[in-house]
Structure 1
């Protein structure tokens, strides 16, 4: 393996460019590159156009044909990634063996991290233009939802990888606060239940507009969804998983970014914050209690206690007299 060539900047502009491309504590939003193979069907070109429209402005789409085989030689993909500073790629190709194929690629350090191949079903495909309604504004973050046991499998498989790729593809830039008015559409991914080992379940992608309407019976608005498009169904193809060491390096966080745990502060099962306080030994005899009528001694009880104390004094006095008489005798 050849060492990475170090580029020394010659001016301030080049230095700013290299610093922006280099590793950062807070990474830049993921830019996606859309490419096509020498043979690309009309259906795939429509799909690329719709995915590019959902991903804008963090998207770059090329229309030139590229003779690239991602699973055989990813060197060309890595060149495009470094040239355009893109950390994700969608590569469209169509052949007799794999018709209407989309290859989703993720990069780490401008090197291919993992890939998943999804084949589009042309019969159920519907484009954005086929739904005659309003579309979401450019640059808004969508709501992402996943349903299906295959997405939640404890063991890594093609569906858990596809879920991770979809999350990185559509999540957009990281934000601290979210405006409710900006939640205009959602993208839902569902997977069928597995019926047999030979036939893999399909992944269904649906996009919906979110509309709020006044409800006469309630104070809160009623939420309705309307399909916006595109409507895509995928069959899972080949998968290239990330190497263990590379994945561990990619998931490493910068020092100082971990949230510091507060001493004696925990979270219970419900999710409430619980604190533990350590106090010294208390003298309960000096505890000031609340003065209540029920705790006040009555006058009869006080007289009885005084009489009992006087009787004890007389007994002690008589005993002293007897002792002196015995001594004189």
Structure 2
């Protein structure tokens, strides 16, 4: 359908596929049956990430509760994802069967790709930790500890989800003073521990400062519940890159683990005996060598007639 106004045309152009996509937005959704703990978790997570690039939504329908159940029906999530142009979501709810529940997920072409349900077992909010905080919108450094993030497929997808959720915009340059916020995730004994730290740069007597970490909140102890993971084919399709962004392969060029470039040159076979070298006295052939090359017979000098 062709747009009838310039505003509609700009809107459609903004939604068109691009070689370099925009920074992913996230919608944080509070279910109608969410309790105070889930509400505080959603607020603190919004403040923990690069807040300028998150899209916060709290649904309070006037006549009925928001009883969205993402694992049973995903149509409402996909509708709001397309309407707000958000490819990430975090849904909070609470009920007797699954208390203090969080569902983190992402979209592909406005359809749910991956979705993982997490239960909150312990929560310490930002305001409960009486330490200095990082400025809002600070890009965090992400650290993942635990073999489960590399061995188990569900934990591997959760790691990828958390990276998408908290990575924020891509930056070309980094300054040392800007590395002041750390998000640490640990997977051990079937639980996921999320901790937030502020990086303190202390004097060390040299150019490189001494690093100390100070916990600033929020702090979460999570347990994995249900999962909804995309098939391998759909997951590969979501990771597919345009041909224009793929680096062109150069023949006969390779790189080692240290980044050193090696090149292979193909040349025709050369006769090294005819190779031109520097004309030095030490490289000149002796008469004996010349006679050997001519057939082993040295030329006789003609006697002059007396």
TM-score relative to the length of structure 1: 0.79
Cα 1:106–1:315 shift into 2, 3 Å:
closer
User: Residue 137 of structure 1: CA displacement?
Assistant: 2.0
What residue is the counterpart of 2:177 in the other structure?
Answer: 181
Task: Quote the Cα distance in structure 2 between the aligned partners of 1:248 and 1:263.
Answer: 27
User: Residue 62 of structure 1: CA displacement?
Assistant: 2.7
What residue is the counterpart of 1:152 in the other structure?
Answer: 150
Cα 1:315–1:142 shift into 2, 3 Å:
closer
Residues 188-203 of structure 1 aligned to structure 2 (within 5 Å): 188-192=184-188, 194=189, 201-203=190-192
Cα 1:207–1:288 shift into 2, 3 Å:
same
Unaligned runs of 5+ in 1: 1-6, 195-200, 303-311, 318-329
Task: Quote the Cα distance in structure 1 between the aligned partners of 2:126 and 2:67.
Answer: 28
For the aligned residue pairs, the C-alpha RMSD in angstroms reads 2.6
Task: Quote the Cα distance in structure 1 between the aligned partners of 2:279 and 2:48.
Answer: 68
Task: Quote the Cα distance in structure 1 between the aligned partners of 2:181 and 2:299.
Answer: 96
Residues 290-329 of structure 1 aligned to structure 2 (within 5 Å): none
1 or 2 for the larger relative contact order (CA 8 Å, sep ≥6)? Answer: 2
What residue is the counterpart of 2:215 in the other structure?
Answer: 227
What residue is the counterpart of 2:33 in the other structure?
Answer: 39
**CA deviation digits over 1:168-195, x for unaligned, max 9?**
0001112333333322211111111x5x
Cα 1:313–1:16 shift into 2, 3 Å:
closer
Task: Quote the Cα distance in structure 1 between the aligned partners of 2:265 and 2:212.
Answer: 48
What residue is the counterpart of 1:112 in the other structure?
Answer: 112
TM-score relative to the length of structure 2: 0.85
Which of 1 and 2 has greater Rg? 1
Residues 16-31 of structure 1 aligned to structure 2 (within 5 Å): 16-31=10-25
User: Residue 296 of structure 1: CA displacement?
Assistant: 8.2
- Secondary structure of the corresponding residue to residue 103 of structure 1: strand
User: Residue 22 of structure 1: CA displacement?
Assistant: 2.6
What residue is the counterpart of 2:77 in the other structure?
Answer: 77
User: Residue 240 of structure 1: CA displacement?
Assistant: 0.3
Identify the match of residue 247 of structure 1 among 221, 232, 235. 235
- Matched length: 287
Say whether 1:63 aligns with 2:67.
no
Task: Quote the Cα distance in structure 1 between the aligned partners of 2:28 and 2:86.
Answer: 10
What residue is the counterpart of 1:53 in the other structure?
Answer: 47
Cα 1:46–1:281 shift into 2, 3 Å:
same
User: Residue 266 of structure 1: CA displacement?
Assistant: 0.3
User: Residue 270 of structure 1: CA displacement?
Assistant: 3.9
Higher mean C-alpha displacement, 15-24 vs 160-169:
15-24
**CA deviation digits over 1:122-145, x for unaligned, max 9?**
3xx211112222222222321111
Say whether 1:208 aligns with 2:204.
no
**CA deviation digits over 1:15-57, x for unaligned, max 9?**
1111212322111111111111121121111111100112301
Cα 1:241–1:289 shift into 2, 3 Å:
same
Higher mean C-alpha displacement, 273-282 vs 95-104:
273-282
Cα 1:290–1:296 shift into 2, 3 Å:
closer
Cα 1:316–1:88 shift into 2, 3 Å:
closer
Cα 1:173–1:314 shift into 2, 3 Å:
closer
What residue is the counterpart of 2:224 in the other structure?
Answer: 236
